[in-house]
Structure 1
């Protein structure tokens, strides 16, 4: 392990592409702090910056065999952090715009009588959050929600136990509730009733 300290980034990347965990560990140790400081300058929050860097390294490992560097590893990783943060900012902009529109509707004294419109707006945001679920969990959830398959049918379709199906659906709903709470706060209960009425 100590021998990896003497390797340059290019050598470590070559080893990483072959699934070398020690190479990944050395890259992590070498670049974590610079990336963290880069992230915190952008997001101004320690926990958020930590999450950003962790996501970047998770992606680096999961996609290691497909990495193609046109510049230094440091530049590549800093670009990944910047792009991830920009995506966060875009999501925040979407959230803010949605809440502004919702507040405007409430200020006008409108009630939620136009259920079709509300479903359409809500559906767009929920579908986006569903797309962010882990692949296996998302597949189970969509088979239950979109294809209306029973736990047993999903179990047979994906060759997993019914208990796993139940757990994946439970976890998916838990994740979605947590994420959507920050988006909809007070109106969350009503929206879940309208959209997730199993």
Structure 2
């Protein structure tokens, strides 16, 4: 029994050493190690991302952005014993940052009191143009998407409250709000 346990422990340690060595080679600029990390973890990252968002394009974009950022900052990255855990954590933060920034931009564009303008008079023309752009973009959304955004940002309802009011699941609220914000973001950029 002890022999079997030792064999298992050796394989687990070899895997960890393998990951640590792979990570170290990647940090030193080894493009092969970088490509191997990408190939080894892309599918797992994609599956994990689907637990955070149903938007497949967003997940793929965030994974790509994550790997580009990793490559550019590889020399400053910490050593890790679990590349997979490091990547999962980084992807989660990346997706949540994108979702959060989209919601903040939408709210700032919709609510003039939230805008921080150094000179109120100088920004009036720019603000009017931005407001018109946002209103045009909002008008391209479906009635359901407009209603969700209104409840979420103007009425400041939680996802749970919106789900209860509209008789849909919380996940449906989250997905629909995200898709509406993504559509707005694409139109406004």
1:76 and 2:86 correspond: yes
> Would the aligned equivalents of 1:69 and 1:76 in 2 still touch at CA under 8 Å?
no
**Structure 1 residues 80 and 118 mapped into 2: Cα distance closer, same or farther (>3 Å)?**
farther
Alignment correspondent of 2:72: 62
**Structure 1 residues 40 and 122 mapped into 2: Cα distance closer, same or farther (>3 Å)?**
farther
Secondary structure of residue in 1 paired with 2:57: helix
CA distance in 2, matches of 1:33, 1:61: 19
Q: RMSD of aligned C-alpha atoms? A: 3.1
CA distance in 1, matches of 2:129, 2:98: 19
CA distance in 1, matches of 2:83, 2:186: 37
> Would the aligned equivalents of 1:95 and 1:183 in 2 still touch at CA under 8 Å?
no
**Structure 1 residues 36 and 180 mapped into 2: Cα distance closer, same or farther (>3 Å)?**
closer
**Structure 1 residues 122 and 23 mapped into 2: Cα distance closer, same or farther (>3 Å)?**
farther
Alignment correspondent of 1:88: 98
Alignment correspondent of 1:32: 42
CA distance in 2, matches of 1:93, 1:59: 23
Q: Could you tell me how far 1:33 is from its partner in structure 2? A: 0.7
CA distance in 2, matches of 1:17, 1:121: 47
Alignment correspondent of 2:187: 182
Q: Could you tell me how far 1:122 is from its partner in structure 2? A: 7.9
TM-score by length of 2: 0.51
**Structure 1 residues 122 and 58 mapped into 2: Cα distance closer, same or farther (>3 Å)?**
farther
> How many residues align structurally?
114
Alignment correspondent of 1:117: 124
TM-score by length of 1: 0.49
> Would the aligned equivalents of 1:99 and 1:183 in 2 still touch at CA under 8 Å?
no
Secondary structure of residue in 2 paired with 1:8: helix
**Structure 1 residues 181 and 82 mapped into 2: Cα distance closer, same or farther (>3 Å)?**
closer
- Unpaired stretches in structure 2, ≥5 consecutive residues: 1-14, 113-120, 131-183
Relative contact order (C-alpha < 8 Å, sep 6+): which is higher? 2
1:49 and 2:59 correspond: yes
Which of 14, 21, 24 is the equivalent residue of 2:24? 14
CA distance in 1, matches of 2:186, 2:46: 27
